[in-house]
Structure 1
Amino acid sequence: MLSDFHLPLNPIDKVNQPPVHYLQVQDGLILCSGLCWTTAYILYIRQAYRDKSYGMPLVCLCANIAWEFLFGAAIPESAAQVVSFFPWFVIDIGIVYTTWKFGREQWKHAPLVAQNLGWILLGGITGMLVMFWAFLKTYDNQYEAGFYLAWTDQIIVSTTSVAQLMSRNNTSGHSWGIWFTRWIGSVFAELIFVWRYLNYPESYPVAATHMTIFLFVVTEVADLTYPFVYASLERKEKKKLK
């Protein structure tokens, strides 16, 4: 029956065998987060063509590609990860292309970067992939290792997006839609782990560590700082057009 539908169980849920309502709330949060981030990635590509620029900072893009390839294609732990992460990986290839296509103009003040942007992207993605793989092989608990890699990536995206706006002193490559879908997608992702911890704290201790709280709080602070910076720059741009 439809009322009993849920995504295939992840390894922890296979052990706990939680009730259907728990799984459906968890699945809903996963799918909402995935939909929001997928939308954000599509908006990054659209805005790149509109502004002839790019919005995702280079280090974030390299980390995203590496993480999404590992957990969406190479070593997924559940069907939910494949459903959420592999489409991101495919769309991220489009972001890589638009970054390479329009990024050289953004780096014209640094000719060495502009002239070698493709190699920088290739080297960055390869380096992140090797580093993430090494971390997973070093850490005893792959679930926790993947969790910390994901949220370290998240905090980098949130903080460097604000830094990129400030350093460029313009909104090229960015938009309100990108910020909102990215932010809400992250909120849904945080709620996934809050929901899991509230119901099965012994299975998800990682969700309540001091490091996790730090990552969540700093991510939210950065994401809620972004609209103020964006709005300030947008006002300046509108004044110049008058």
Structure 2
Amino acid sequence: MDPFLSAVSGLAWTIVYIEAIRIGFRHKTYAMPLAALGLNIAWESTYAVRDLTGAMSLQGVVNIVWALADLAIVYTFFAFGRAEFPRFVTRPMFAVFGVLVFGTSYAVQWLFLAEFGEHGAARYSAFLQNLLMSGLFIAMLVARRGLRGQTLTIAIAKWLGTLAPTISIGVIDNSPFILGIGILCSVFDLVYIGLVVWAKRHPEALAAADTPTVAPAAETSAQRGVPA
């Protein structure tokens, strides 16, 4: 991977994690969609361990730093995330669901390794989970009806952090698959950036989303207290 583009990607993703930790504690929520968080920490810790047991590389050191940052975001999920779920989801149900998602994320990463080998698995899984994350950030904004746990800094840094390896691997290394998935990531990332900018300028529009748009049905005779 091109050293300059690798540095851009590493810096951008580090900014994403630092900002996600900061805003997560500030807003008392988790700042990365759950499925994306699970896949992220599974990817980074898996490849960090493989680097630790082999020849240590710069990327291996970066993976360790990212995995530690992800642990902080995981903490915000378990500490504050219950409030993002419906009331019928009890604290034990929430904890079990979280553990299930993180366990499944590790299983998916290891299945990629078994099927494609380390070189292919690292690239394919990273870009596919990035595409998933790009869509989930949009879904999170919609579900939360606002920017709770989200910032423009995260949106832009996430886009640049994925764009750099898309150019390096997809264009310079001539990988059509990575290029295609990377372009799709950019499409969703740019849509999300636009939505964040719009939400910052028009918070009242998001608040209005809670207001019913359909008039309530006319009262029946019984409801009005009139005999049928």
TM-score band (shorter)? 0.7 to 0.9
Which residue type is aligned with residue 106 of structure 2? L
| Among candidates 212, 216, 222, match of residue 182 of structure 2 | 216
Say whether residues 1:30 and 2:6 are aligned partners.
Answer: yes
Contact in 2 for aligned 1:31/1:84 (Cα 8 Å):
no
State the distance in 2 between where 1:177 and 1:117 align.
29
Cα RMSD, aligned residues only: 2.2
Shift of 1:235: 2.9
Say whether residues 1:42 and 2:8 are aligned partners.
Answer: no
Which residue type is aligned with residue 194 of structure 2? F
TM-score (norm 1): 0.76
Q: 1:67 matched to which residue of 2?
A: 43
Per-residue deviation, residues 158-211 of structure 1 (Å, max 9, x unmatched): 1110111112211100001111111111112212214642xxx5xxxxx12xx3
Per-residue deviation, residues 113-145 of structure 1 (Å, max 9, x unmatched): 654333322222222112211221122x43112
State the distance in 2 between where 1:214 and 1:63 align.
20
Which residue type is aligned with residue 160 of structure 1? L
Q: 2:105 matched to which residue of 1?
A: 128
Contact in 1 for aligned 2:141/2:147 (Cα 8 Å):
yes
State the distance in 2 between where 1:158 and 1:114 align.
28
Query: What SS does the aligned partner of 2:202 have?
Result: helix
Shift of 1:104: 1.1
Say whether residues 1:101 and 2:79 are aligned partners.
Answer: yes
State the distance in 1 between where 2:39 and 2:106 align.
8
Identity %: 25
Query: What SS does the aligned partner of 1:112 have?
Result: coil
TM-score (norm 2): 0.81
Q: 2:141 matched to which residue of 1?
A: 165
Shift of 1:78: 6.1
State the distance in 2 between where 1:111 and 1:96 align.
22
Contact in 2 for aligned 1:169/1:233 (Cα 8 Å):
no
Contact in 2 for aligned 1:45/1:94 (Cα 8 Å):
yes
Matches within 5 A, 1:133-148: 133-139=110-116, 141-148=117-124
In the alignment, structure 2 segments of 5+ residues that lack a partner are 208-228
Larger Rg: 2
Contact in 1 for aligned 2:152/2:197 (Cα 8 Å):
no
Shift of 1:223: 0.2
Contact in 2 for aligned 1:48/1:54 (Cα 8 Å):
yes
Which residue type is aligned with residue 29 of structure 1? L
Q: 2:88 matched to which residue of 1?
A: 111
Aligned residues: 204
Shift of 1:38: 0.9
Which residue type is aligned with residue 43 of structure 2? W
Say whether residues 1:88 and 2:75 are aligned partners.
Answer: no
Query: What SS does the aligned partner of 2:183 have?
Result: helix
Q: 1:186 matched to which residue of 2?
A: 162
State the distance in 2 between where 1:146 and 1:187 align.
16
| Among candidates 191, 213, 221, match of residue 225 of structure 1 | 191
State the distance in 2 between where 1:233 and 1:219 align.
21
Contact in 2 for aligned 1:44/1:95 (Cα 8 Å):
yes
In the alignment, structure 1 segments of 5+ residues that lack a partner are 1-22, 202-206
Higher helix proportion, which one? 1
Q: Which moved more, 1:82-91 or 1:218-227?
A: 82-91
State the distance in 1 between where 2:192 and 2:36 align.
16
